[in-house]
Chains A and B, each alone.
Chain A
């Protein structure tokens, strides 16, 4: 069983990675997050494979992962991350309803149109506890 990177002591803003195949949404989300003092965007990936690579970056503490993507979507990424000894905190995001297996995956879900940095910060602090 691996540990969340959120549990390790860190100083400064939280490193965030965004994985979404919609480039415009990913860019907009990155722009919004950059406005917050709490977060810094480490990178934006547009697919499952590049998302796994990005999330493997030690600087990433929080991953925002889209549900609907080719190659298994956010669920595939979550299952891959589970095998890592150290992994970022992951949050599923979607413009649609939560997927039916969200409870089984054991990760939080946020509707895309409800996403804001305050909500993310609250969620991050909860997971860090």
Chain B
């Protein structure tokens, strides 16, 4: 009997998750671990059920911050990548600054952003933008610089302008890298937004911080799981866009997997 592809993909992680939950639950019960240290999964589930009505509000805010941040961060990363790839002078000028932007610890930067931009969405979106744009711009610009020289020569010989070379050769060849960068970014983006929320404001970060200060570790873990699920959902979304925008890469992968 042939097992469907999607089942082959989902069965192993499901088994691992179930095993992990079972051992966690039995460890807590056997060792009598206090719920304010580590609540059992069953207790976390009960907490989820209890706080369910509150979660939509927090999720909505965190989702808004994260998606705005990802879109803006991807746009900024893309523009930076084009700038880097189109002029070696710009590359030398921008690259050190790019690196410097990533050396500032978020724990230092986020409180300052809240101080400068207040308590609204802005500072959290900015945290996400800072997290997102870097992998995108690095991956994309590297791919654009690595575009097959023969292809460029060919299009040039047909009379293409600089812009046409960018539009028809460099960009398409860099798109897979762009999405690879975005996938890395999307993984961290939610955590970045939540971090900003802990510093000041609303959303899942506030829910987690408030729960912690009420010694409700089970609610904290509900928040943690939601962050993971939200990240996974965003990652899936990026994957879908990637499939639509660069169908050829998936085609090749499918062929390879058949061999």
Q: Is B one of A's binding partners? A: no
